[in-house]
Amino acid sequence: MADNLLIIDGAGTTKSIRTTDNAGVHTPHNIIDTITAGASADIGATSDAAVVTDANGTLSGKLRGLVKWAFERMPASLGQKARAASLGVALASDQMLADDAAFTPATSQVLPVGAAYQATPDLVDDNDIGAFRMTIRRALLNAPDYWLLSLSSGTPVPAGSDITNQGSGALVAGDFQIRDTNVHGFRIPLLGWRDVTITFANAEAFNQNLSVSIYAGAGTGINTYLMGVTYPASQVYNFSIGHGGAVGQGGNAGGATVGSGVFYNVPAIAGFGYIVLYFSAAVAPAQGNFSLAVYRRTG
């Protein structure tokens, strides 16, 4: 080729040297295809230890260190489940604001936030995170949370129920179809809820009077009496007990007889960890069946 030079070696043989001709100045080409151990202090040897810091090292050690550092952090892909196994990513500072920082319209950066639609919302546990909820038409739900549980002899433990007997055990059909003189308790947690309304209904009248009382407590103690009423025999009545603004009919009265459709205001319900409803009969009923609807909300 035109850029090559011809020379004569010591044996008198003509040889061609590959060069690059730049305005008459020929630069020879050098091919490095191996690194010989100890041949150069700068290049190093293939067995040199990997250097993964800014410490001094040979070219071989630096190259090994670069491959080692990247390989350890990218075993399969750039993103790994474990933070320590991934390449670090710094969030842009102009898209984040410090807690309680001032927001400047048209200047401060924000990130879009999505929400989830669920026809039947699932519950989160203590210390869980969760997604915001929206309607099927993408409107963000910001109403107070509520929870309605319907309990009966056919469904003493509805799905997701946290209502138990007074000993924190599972409710059974016999707690609603009372056929003895035992005390049947219904423990209703109130932590995290601001309001509660409990509706009692019976499709079949009891042939004996029922004593109904409510106690409240926190932790393991059930020590605050709230109210007590008598549910008369041979009657099919609905009545409700809830958090009201003042003590209403039956509130802390103890001896009142239930009337149909009566709502008993019990202001003291709010502020306790739970309440317990007690049902009992002085004479074992031979018939009767009731259900409870427990409605709790946060606001």
Q: Where in the chain are the domains?
A: 5-73, 146-297
Buried b (16+ CB within 10 A) or exposed e, 45-75: eeebeebbeeeebbebbbebbeeeeeeeeee
Residue 260, number of CB atoms within 10 A of its CB: 9
List per-residue pLDDT tens for the chain, 299 residues long: 567 778 888 888 888 888 888 887 878 776 666 655 555 667 778 788 888 888 888 888 888 888 888 777 665 555 566 666 666 666 666 667 778 888 888 888 777 788 888 887 777 888 888 888 888 888 887 767 788 999 999 999 999 899 999 888 999 999 999 999 999 999 999 887 878 889 999 889 999 999 998 888 876 666 788 888 888 999 888 888 887 655 444 444 434 677 777 888 776 676 788 889 999 999 999 999 999 999 988 76
The pLDDT of residue 196 is 87
The pLDDT of residue 207 is 96
Q: Is the pTM above the cut of 0.75?
A: no
The pLDDT of residue 202 is 87
Amino acid at 203: A
The CATH number assigned to the domain with range 146-297 reads 2.60.120.380
Residues 280 and 288: their CA atoms lie apart, in Å, by: 12
